[in-house]
Amino acid sequence: MKHVFQKLALLAMAVSITLSAQATTPEEDLAAFRNFFKNRFPDVPMEEYTNGVYAIDPIGRENWEAIEEFPPYEPFIDEGQAMWENPFANGKSYQDCFPEGPAMESQFPYWDKQQGMVITLPLAINQCREANGEKPLKYKKGPINNILSYIAFESRGQTTNVEIPTEDPKALAAYESGKKFYYTRRGQLNFSCATCHLQNAGMRIRSDILSPALGHTTHWPVYRSKWGTVGTLHRRFSGCNKQVRAKPFKAQGEEYRNLEYFLTYMNNGLPLNGPGARK
């Protein structure tokens, strides 16, 4: 009797250890993410999600297509091209920092082992500027949106392809940190990103349709009618946090960079189509 009992106890222990060791991999997370939306919106083809909320909002889509005939972000692309082509005071240019640019959106964000952090495109732009004696640009409003618009436009058609290098466990840790942020409730209103953009994607809050998380990173920077200008992804993160009455984090700080890393990975496979125009 005692032997049987001991065997059962060992079995129970083995089972529980196996179960707890089975944390999901990023690949499994991505498959689950896509499946969630496939089940929620069975008639929407995967590539359509690159259009964000307009993949699931036919009336909004009509308005959007009308706006896209005279895209409000066009002047920003032109300004951005001028920025790209004008050399810095020291004679060097963005092209020297980014030989493969300006069509380089799909290279970001990436895990930089040497710097030990997630590098986003806006961060890389400022690192380039500072390395060449130029002042860094602000990360939410202003001229960063010009150069980002140009880079996004030139990169249209590239495929989202974020990698999480296995040789550096800190990369996976950054991904997991971003994932945790995404699913954690915050603010006086007690919402997580997932509450609106997974759980309630496609539902209406007043008369606005909540956009699906799939497609959220493909079209930045964005001309938002509400802003009356082009703004960055981290500006939107900040706004979303404020909307749930949570204290926003710093643009291009660790939290939002890790969040971008996770969220962009969840958008892997989707075509890039920035800059975008939204409500």
Partner 1 sequence: MFEKSKKWIELSGACMLVTGILISTASIAADSSAIAEGKEIAFDRKKGNCLACHMIPGGNLPGNIAPPLIAMQSRYPNKADLRKQIWDPTVKNPETSMPPFGKYEILTQQELDKLVEFIWSL
The catalytic site residues sit at: 240
Task: Name the minimum Å distance from CB 247 to partner 1.
Answer: 14
Place of tokens 């790209």: 84
Under the criterion CB under 8 A, does residue 203 sit at the interface with partner 1? yes
- Nearest distance, CB of residue 201 and partner 1, angstroms: 11
The residue from 205, 226, 228, 247 that contacts partner 1 (CB under 8 A) is 205
Q: How far is CA 73 from CA 160, 208, 219, 223, 276, in A?
A: 21, 22, 12, 6, 7
* Smallest gap from residue 213 Cβ to partner 1 (A): 15
User: Among 82-90, 171-179, 202-210, 227-235, which window interacts with partner 1 (CB under 8 A)?
Assistant: 202-210
Asked if 12 interacts with partner 1 (CB under 8 A), we say: no
Count of CA atoms in the C-beta half-sphere (13 A) of 187: 20
- Alpha-carbon distance of 265 to 48, in angstroms, equals 17
200 in contact with partner 1 (CB under 8 A): yes
Task: Rank residues 15 and 183 by Cβ distance to partner 1 and give the closer one.
Answer: 183
Comparing C-alpha atoms, which of 233, 58, 60, 83 is closest to residue 160? Answer: 233
In the complex with partner 1, which residue's Cβ is closer, 135 or 206? 206
Nearest distance in Å: CB 36, partner 1: 14
Q: Which is nearer to partner 1, 102 or 212 (CB)?
A: 212
84: β partners: none
Q: In what order do the strands lie in the sheet with 222-224?
A: 229-231, 222-224, 276-278
Question: Taking the alpha carbons of 197, 203, 207, 211 in that order, is the dihedral positive or negative?
Answer: positive
Contacts with partner 1, residue ranges (CB under 8 A): 188-191, 195-196, 199-200, 203-207
